[in-house]
């Protein structure tokens, strides 16, 4: 099996989509018979350390034209390919054309809000020609189906998986001292602080803090992640008189992240813009109880409330109740997160590839041939 993967970023990049693409490429490489997987990213330095066996990542091409030309050259010279994987809706027109030119199926992966609202005509046209579409969550799938006239049975769900490096453990003394958290109960959010992504819910948690402090005086809200929105949040905390209960951890190195989760007593992110919300999985895998919104892909990461509490993100009283209850040890047991382990993810990738994309696809038919 040979595949050409057009992605925004993968090896050597940070962020949720890059992580997803690395996991997916690793899962593809595990499929028996997998031979060659060519990855062409838009971004990233390609120095992502060791690549899975059979995987080759080409040099990133940030410019749209050079990306297209490189993809075309790869399609012609590095093939033959059995299918084209397209890791982002914005790349779908190119992927559809290449796949049509090669006479092979193409697989489109949807992440988050790129597939939620108005879609460009070319993107819709190409999405409607994909042999297989997978969405990171049921929510993104639903939003996408409202925009594109695709048979719902062609759109599956392939959720994020969680790295085995996240797990429960003792709190790190170094980090406790760095953030002055000794003797405190810690509420944690991990995300970028991007002014363009203000729907993550930091504001909602800060606004709830006065009520939370009343019930749990030793609470500290630890905000991990960097970005230009930090100043605004600092001002908000000050104006509400809870500046002393908020700690900004700034940017956290990937190898420190598992330890950061272990510092916390409760993870909270009442967001309304999650395609999925991999941080919920990381938190739950670290043994943390979690609270998220019920109005976006978070509901999948929280497994409809089985892994963490899913609240209406605009219901501030519900948020306070859930946080206070969570800090006192209430809420669902996060161990259900085990379902998102890599073995399940890669097994599903294998089933999808064998069932939809390889030549024997459809042989598991029913009426014609008994299943």
Could you say which residues in the range 138-197 bind other proteins, by CB under 8 A? 138, 141-142, 145-146, 149, 152-153, 155-157, 159
Decide if residue 370 touches other proteins (CB under 8 A).
Answer: yes
**Min. distance of Cβ 26 from other proteins in angstroms?**
17
Decide if residue 308 touches other proteins (CB under 8 A).
Answer: no
**Min. distance of Cβ 364 from other proteins in angstroms?**
7
- Our CB check for other proteins shows the closer of 77 and 146 to be 146
- Our CB check for other proteins shows the closer of 154 and 211 to be 154
Among 35, 214, 335, 344, binds other proteins (CB under 8 A): 344
- Our CB check for other proteins shows the closer of 159 and 292 to be 159
Cβ atoms of residues 88 and 64 within 8 Å: no
Decide if residue 122 touches other proteins (CB under 8 A).
Answer: no
Among 96, 204, 300, 334, binds other proteins (CB under 8 A): 300
Q: How far is CA 147 from the centre of its chain?
A: 21
Decide if residue 135 touches other proteins (CB under 8 A).
Answer: yes
| Spatial separation of the C-alpha atoms in residues 326 and 310, rounded to whole Å | 12
Nearest to 10 by CA among 107, 88, 103, 72: 88
Per CB under 8 A, the segment of 133-141, 224-232, 242-250, 324-332 that binds other proteins is 133-141
**Min. distance of Cβ 125 from other proteins in angstroms?**
11
Cβ atoms of residues 311 and 318 within 8 Å: yes
CA distances to 18, 258, 296 from 148, rounded to whole Å, are 25, 39, 19
- Our CB check for other proteins shows the closer of 26 and 40 to be 26
Among 61, 192, 348, 358, binds other proteins (CB under 8 A): 348
> Hey, what are 358's tokens?
């390889």
Among 72, 207, 339, 342, binds other proteins (CB under 8 A): 339
- Our CB check for other proteins shows the closer of 312 and 351 to be 351
Given the rule CB under 8 A, which residues bind other proteins? 135, 137-138, 141-142, 145-146, 149, 152-153, 155-157, 159, 300, 303-304, 306, 339-340, 344, 347-348, 351-352, 355, 362, 364-371
């Amino acid at each position: 099996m040979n595949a050409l993967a057009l992605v925004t970023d993968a090896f050597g990049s940070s962020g949720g989509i890059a992580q997803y693409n690395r996991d997916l490429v690793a899962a593809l490489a595990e499929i028996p018979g997998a031979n060659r997987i060519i990855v062409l990213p838009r971004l990233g330095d390609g120095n992502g350390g060791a690549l899975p066996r059979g995987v080759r990542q080409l040099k990133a091409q940030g410019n749209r034209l050079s990306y297209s030309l490189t993809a075309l050259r790869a399609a012609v010279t590095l093939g033959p390919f059995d299918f084209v994987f397209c890791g982002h809706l914005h790349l779908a027109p190119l992927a559809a054309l290449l796949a049509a030119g090669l006479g092979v199926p193409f697989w489109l992966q949807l992440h988050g809000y790129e597939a939620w609202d108005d879609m460009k005509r070319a993107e819709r046209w190409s999405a409607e020609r994909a042999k297989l579409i997978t969405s990171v969550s049921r929510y993104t799938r639903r939003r996408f189906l409202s925009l594109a006239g695709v048979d719902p049975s062609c759109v599956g769900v392939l959720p994020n998986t969680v790295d085995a490096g996240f797990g429960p453990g003792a709190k790190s003394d170094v980090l406790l001292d760095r953030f002055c958290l000794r003797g405190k109960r810690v509420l944690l959010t991990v995300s970028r602080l991007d002014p363009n992504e203000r729907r993550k819910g930091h504001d909602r948690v800060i606004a709830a803090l006065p009520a939370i402090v009343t019930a749990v005086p030793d609470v500290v809200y630890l905000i991990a992640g960097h970005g230009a929105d930090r100043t605004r949040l600092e001002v908000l905390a000050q104006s509400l008189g809870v500046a002393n209960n908020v700690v900004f951890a700034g940017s956290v190195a990937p190898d420190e992240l598992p330890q950061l989760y272990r510092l916390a007593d409760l993870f909270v992110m009442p967001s309304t813009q999650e395609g999925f919300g991999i941080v919920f999985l990381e938190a739950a895998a670290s043994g943390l109880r979690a609270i998220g919104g019920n109005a976006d892909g978070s509901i999948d990461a929280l497994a409809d409330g089985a892994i963490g509490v899913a609240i209406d993100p605009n219901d501030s009283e519900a948020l306070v109740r859930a946080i206070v209850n969570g800090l006192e040890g209430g809420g669902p047991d996060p161990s259900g997160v085990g379902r998102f382990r890599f073995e399940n993810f890669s097994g599903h990738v294998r089933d999808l590839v064998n069932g939809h994309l390889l030549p024997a696809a459809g042989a598991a038919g029913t009426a014609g041939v008994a299943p």
